[in-house]
Chain A
Amino acid sequence: MTDVRAGGDADLLASLASSVISRARPDEQVEAYVARGGETEVRVYKGDVEHFVSAQSEGIGIRVIVDGRTGFAYAGTLAADAIEEVLAEARDNVAYGTVDEHAALAIPDGVAVTPQALWSDDLAELATEDKIELAKELERLTVAGDPRIRIDDANYADGWSITATATSTGVDTTSRENGCYVTVSALADEGDETQSGYGYSVGRRPDEIDLDKAATLAVERATRLLGATKPPSGRVDIVLDPMVTASFLSLIGGTLSGEAVVKGRSLFRERIGDQIAAPGMTLVDDPTNPEAYTASETDGEGLATRRNVLVADGTLQQFCHSTYSARRAGATPTGNGVRGGFAGTPGAGAIALSLAPGDLDQEALIAMVDDGVLIQSVTGLHSGVNSVSGDFSAGASGLLVKGGTLAGPVREFTIASTLQRMLLDVAAIGSDIDWLPSNAAGMSLVIRDVTVSGT
């Protein structure tokens, strides 16, 4: 495998993609998505490297549409014989698809790419020893944060990717990006009790990594749960920590997928123009914002990304559309084709969500709550939230709020409501916006009248 750290071979991938689509027959639409990527992961434990992973991958996915029938194939290699086989398989698979008049590849729509600095040479050239040192320093800082703290693991990771997308309908784009992050999982012990806390920091360049922030987060989140009890059941107000809000927004983003809408699986289909969230809530999907962890110049179909206001002042404005979902909905593609890699075809979804932040920091939001819980973390969103029915139930841990100030720690309880109600019950949005390693930004959020189930 060629070493592409210098990144010069976006052109090589583009020419590979072009050569595939140049073979499209007159009755075929052909798309080639070619990707190369790599990652480094360093895990440190007790001052030593526990493992060092250096991984590179490459692959191609080819989509062929003939008379409304779609076939797809992929291979995890760019060897010439494999590409040949992938094209043949994709063509063969076409025969088994059902005719869908809306099936189509993206067509360049004139929206210009917002240029962004998504590649850092500093990161691409960072020496192995420096990566190891970042993880070791993170472990040292975390352990030093509190005498009750020990480490589960401390990690440094980075990744790069270069992709090229070309279609016989005129799309011809490339992307090149890299990024790095550190994470630490800390354990706090007191007597027989152990609590855990997680900290992180992300950056496009190594100098954007904030080790102190990551260490402090992990230490605080683990130690403040020591002595946690199970709270009483009842309906209370909750304050979501930014990490939890980011997960909540990702779920909401899922319900605004154009694909979910056209297939009748969205809670909010046929609700454009309706008040679906509390006044003051403005939800934007904006991959052109360079602060977003998932910022990108083009979407998974090769169209320019753009800023889309999904909810304005509580009113639903539009959905996130791919070429397919837009055609079917009679809407315009919004640059929201999302693709997990070369092994799949694009769906429709949010890429970089954020709420318009409010004016108050978390402390001020807590002061608004008389009887409630600050939710530090949630679990089981994959098992207890149904984005079709809207039922929401999650395991949680956090701190009680009494009379506007933080009280004792609590754990082993659930919070429950519905996604529809939670959006309408948002009482305040924090100013503490944080771009997490997620497709949504976090900030503190106050939600009224949520059921806590504990003792």
Chain B
Amino acid sequence: MKIVVAIKQVPARDSQLRIAGTGKWIEEADLAYEVNEPDAYALEAALQLKEKHGGEVVALSAGPARVAQTIREALAKGADRAIHIEDDTGLLDPLAAARLLAAAVKSEAPDLVLTGLQSDDLGYGQTGVILAELLGLPHATIVMQVEKLDASIRVKREMEDGWYQHVEMPLPALLTIQSGISKLRYATLMGIKKAKTKEVKRLTAADLGVTAEGSHVVVDRVYAPERSKRTQLFTGTPREAAAQLVEKLRFEARVL
């Protein structure tokens, strides 16, 4: 089974974000980046399917030069090769991102395309489904388990309130994978060494024949969220802060 995994690089989860001077995005200069967590689980699911059924795992990522690090990590964990779509435009429109990814996936003609259910930065949760539509593939989202049948797959989808559903669909197909569905593997020393010899194809939008379209959704302004509640903060030593909190819980909130 040939599997393409679309992976995004995002600012590290514990980043202290600052609004850029333009007010239209965050300050990127001093940020650390990491793999988008749900995409790490998509890669893990792909590697497990390959271990069971054979085939090939191709890591695919779009973004500027720094994305090379995330691609190296995917190769070190066991992806066979990678495609880096070099893009400096920021890709704030999920359709624009999906159009680039679709062009690269098309020439690979995989049996399965996997990606995380959403990104930790923009959080649209749409790129995978848009990609499926652009490629004309059936899809399922928020997938917990993937089981390969003869020419089809059977997946377990998560629904609200603790419900699940099994869905079957023909291959090729696209799945968006839920975070936390299995244990993530670490790259081994051998894996890290081998990654250096693996193929990384670098392509631009022009190479892929994708021309820029105007954005359909425009970020006008970013800003710190207004607080819906005013939080009373307690300071001092941990003991002092705890004592003040208990006092408030007893005599103001009256919950103790």
Q: Do A and B bind each other?
A: no
Interface of B toward A, CB cutoff 8 Å:
none
